[in-house]
Amino acid sequence: MTEFKQRQTVGNAPEGVLEFDGHHYPDGRASDPREFGWMRGAPPPADKRVTFENETVWAFPQLRWSLSHMRELRPTVQVWRGRGGSSQLEVSNRSTEVDALTFVDMDGRSNRFDEALFDTYTDGILVLHRGRVIYERYFGALEPHVQHSCQSITKSYAGTLAAALVHEGILDDRKTISQFVPELRGTGWEDATLRQVMDMQTNVAFTEDYTVVDKSYRYEYLRTVRKDGVHGKFVYKGVDTNVMAWVMSRATGRSFAQLLQERLWLPLGCEEDAYVEIDPGNGMPRAHSGLNVTLRDLARFGELMRCEGCWNGKQLVPASVVYDLQDLDHPAKPDLPFGYTYRSQWWVSHDELDAIEGRGLYGQNLYIAPKAEMVIARFGSHPACSHIDRIRRPQMQALGRMLRA
């Protein structure tokens, strides 16, 4: 690992270092990708290159550069914003107040809001309150016009599209997957219903493993996956999302990127194009993790969902789709940390703010809190993201309480 700068020490531990699971990492300041000079030069020096071939794309601290540059690393397809002007996000700056907010994390430590952003390796954060931007900050490689990997927030976009198609009668979530996609007969999804796929309640022989090559979005691979028991219990797995995207494309004749463009990007008046990572052989989208968007456009999607699918007087997503996410009477209640349930590829918190969340690996988060009239869009590049909620969750709830007061 490249050497990193250390700040002043606290006690015997250097302040510029954080420890997770016995491993030490430079913190959010010390790992700033601008200081490392990744991929600069013509060509970049060998020790500054970030590629899949040298296995540095997901390594830390290179990760802090790569998540804002996926278009340079993988084949992608455009999600066009159109020729019209972008919709306006009014600004009512409360940065000083938000930065000074203090909260207690899940380990009992007191934190300032702004300092916690570095301890959670935040690349960018934008807060909307009643539709207005009250807070917006960027770090490292991210800028307002730059798209960042959503990772598994992509699933929430896909799940919203699927739920809308069900509401419109284009899809029937009671039908089995093989009725939509005959190519999946004989696979683990043959007798799974679309609803079971949308809620990740299938039992197929697949294990979510981020340390191996990802094949979960490839047509050929999906046709080899077999059943591993009775469907009906929640198990988190990206293959279900990619099967769901295949169903949507087969039913509509539109690709995942086209559905995003026509149903969300154009009518929302997004500021920038998005892009979706694809299989170069056949164009299959990485619907489970491959969407890349700007922070402001992510916030627009969050505000759309907070407003029950309505944007500037137009119903872009059926309100029933949003209502369904927070229905406490769903039959499947998975045993998940912090009391979450999972519906239509969204995490439902059941917390004091009735928040729903899109969540992604390395710290991506879209936190929509109706009771605080708040949306938090956040991108990150955390080296050990299983630890992030010990700070991030109480941080978001504290901000919601402040805005709700």
215-239 confidence digits (pLDDT tens)? 888 999 999 999 999 999 999 999 9
Q: Which residues of 211-223 are buried (b: 16+ CB within 10 A; e: fewer)?
A: eeeeebbbbebbe
- For the ranges 140-154, 168-182, 201-215, the lowest mean pLDDT is seen at 201-215
Which residue, 182, 184, 163, is CA-closest to 239? 184
Ramachandran region of residue 195, left (φ > 0), alpha (ψ -120 to 50) or beta?
Answer: alpha
Compute the average pLDDT of residues 46-69: 96
User: Who has greater pLDDT, 336 or 302?
Assistant: 302
What is the rounded distance in angstroms from the CA atom of residue 292 to the CA atom of residue 366? 14
Which residue, 11, 34, 12, 70, is CA-closest to 2? 34
336 token code pair: 């998940």
| Residue 198 CB neighbours (<10 A) | 24
Query: Which amino acid, residue 39?
Result: M
Structure confidence at residue 337 (pLDDT): 72
Structure confidence at residue 332 (pLDDT): 60
Confidence of residue 333 (pLDDT cuts 50, 70, 90): low
The DSSP code for 119 is H
Confidence of residue 13 (pLDDT cuts 50, 70, 90): very low
C-alpha dihedral sign at 313, 319, 321, 322: positive
Report helix, strand or coil for 317: coil
**Is it the case that residue 254 has pLDDT exceeding 90?**
yes
Structure confidence at residue 210 (pLDDT): 82
